[in-house]
């Protein structure tokens, strides 16, 4: 009988050190393929493959489109591509960003669920924001074993905390205890396959780069009143128990809290643009007022001065709004970086 031979790990902030630790503890005869998605900068040549290869006995490499999965190897999601599996092959998806990320963790875990849920293990490690929770839930529904790093043990706890709030994982434990757990889990016999929801298959196709029709999107969720922060299209609301997320016709996807942040960012960009235009109009009005005064036209000069002051009042209101948005973002980030003892002391 087949074992649980696909181990998929998702992480973000703080993840490099966590991955180095796990790579150093993997046995040379690990009876599984290891897939890793970590959020990487778009235009930065990462040497994570060399780092993980030197850390332990398993070779690590950025995945190549179409290559066959092999046990005792670590496959890394390359920048700007979703790491997916289809059968026993790698598929590098060119679909839209999810939760502001490509590669994103959710598509990897969903493809694992569709491909081989009953013989798989999904893991969420340290990271900011909430990528990975929806994918882990999908994997669990398809028979995969689910593992989440104890948030108190994580360098950045929001990603594992979000997964815990939405998924009842099979295991919650510190990073140090994971290597022995993984060895036990990958030796488990694969469970009986569970039918995969058609909507889940649709979302994997979107991550690959396929275009879904409006009817397909209506099967995934219900149309909302929100528009996509990326492309301005209609957003579909997808409800999965306590998990609410959004996806647009073009495929951009957001967890609900990330949707709120993205809308805040769009609002800030819009206000910043408006402020720039108004400041330019203030400068022009003052110049025209000066020109009118120099040409002996005091009435016109006064009119331009009044207009400049009215515009400056609008600019001050926008600056105040921008400052308030920045304060809210800074406060949210500071709250996320507080330690558990600091939270407990409040």
Catalytic residues: 12, 39, 131
Across-strand partners of 34?
7, 74
H-run or E-run covering 237: strand 234-240
188-192 contact pairs (CB < 8 A, 24+): 188/3, 188/4, 188/145, 189/1, 189/2, 189/3, 189/4, 190/1, 190/2, 190/3, 190/4, 190/5, 190/118, 190/119, 191/118, 191/119, 191/143, 192/118, 192/143
Distances (CA, A) of 184 to 9, 34, 56, 155, 273: 16, 15, 19, 25, 55
Query: For residues 181 and 171, is the Cβ–Cβ distance under 8 A?
Result: yes
CA distance 88 to 127: 28
Q: Listing from the earlier edge strand, what are the strands of the sheet with 253-255?
A: 222-227, 234-240, 243-248, 253-255
Burial 7-24, CB ≥16 within 10 A → b, else e: bbbbbbbbbeebbbbbbe
CA distance 108 to 171: 20
SS3 of 94, please? coil
């Amino acid at each position: 009988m087949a074992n649980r031979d696909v181990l998929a790990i998702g992480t973000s902030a703080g993840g490099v050190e966590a991955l180095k630790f796990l790579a150093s503890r993997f046995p040379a005869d690990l009876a599984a393929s290891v897939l890793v998605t970590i959020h990487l900068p778009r235009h930065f040549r990462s040497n994570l493959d060399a780092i993980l290869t030197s850390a332990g006995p398993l070779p690590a490499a950025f995945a190549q489109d179409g290559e066959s999965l092999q046990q005792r190897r670590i496959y890394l999601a390359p920048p700007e591509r979703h790491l997916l599996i289809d059968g026993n092959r790698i598929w590098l998806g060119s679909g839209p960003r999810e939760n502001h990320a490509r590669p994103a963790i959710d598509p990897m875990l969903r493809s694992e669920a569709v491909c081989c849920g009953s013989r798989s293990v999904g893991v969420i490690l340290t990271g900011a924001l909430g990528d990975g929770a929806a994918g882990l839930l999908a994997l669990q529904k398809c028979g995969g074993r689910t593992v989440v790093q104890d948030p108190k043990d994580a360098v950045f706890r929001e990603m594992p905390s979000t997964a815990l709030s939405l998924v009842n994982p099979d295991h919650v434990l510190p990073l140090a205890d994971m290597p022995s757990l993984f060895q036990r889990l990958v030796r488990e016999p694969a469970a009986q396959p569970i039918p995969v929801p058609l909507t889940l298959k649709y979302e994997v196709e979107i991550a690959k780069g396929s275009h879904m029709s409006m009817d397909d999107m209506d099967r995934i969720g219900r149309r909302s009143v929100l528009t996509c922060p990326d492309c301005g299209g209609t957003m579909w609301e997808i409800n999965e128990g306590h998990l609410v997320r959004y996806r647009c016709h073009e495929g951009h996807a957001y967890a609900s809290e990330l949707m709120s942040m993205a809308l805040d960012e769009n609002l800030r960009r819009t206000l910043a643009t408006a402020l720039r235009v108004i400041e330019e109009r203030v400068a022009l009005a003052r110049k025209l007022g000066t020109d009118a005064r120099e040409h002996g036209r005091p009435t016109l000069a006064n009119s331009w001065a009044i207009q400049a002051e009215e515009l400056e009042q609008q600019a001050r209101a926008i600056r105040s709004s921008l400052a308030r948005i920045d304060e809210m973002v800074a406060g949210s980030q500071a709250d996320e970086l507080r330690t558990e003892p600091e939270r407990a002391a409040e």
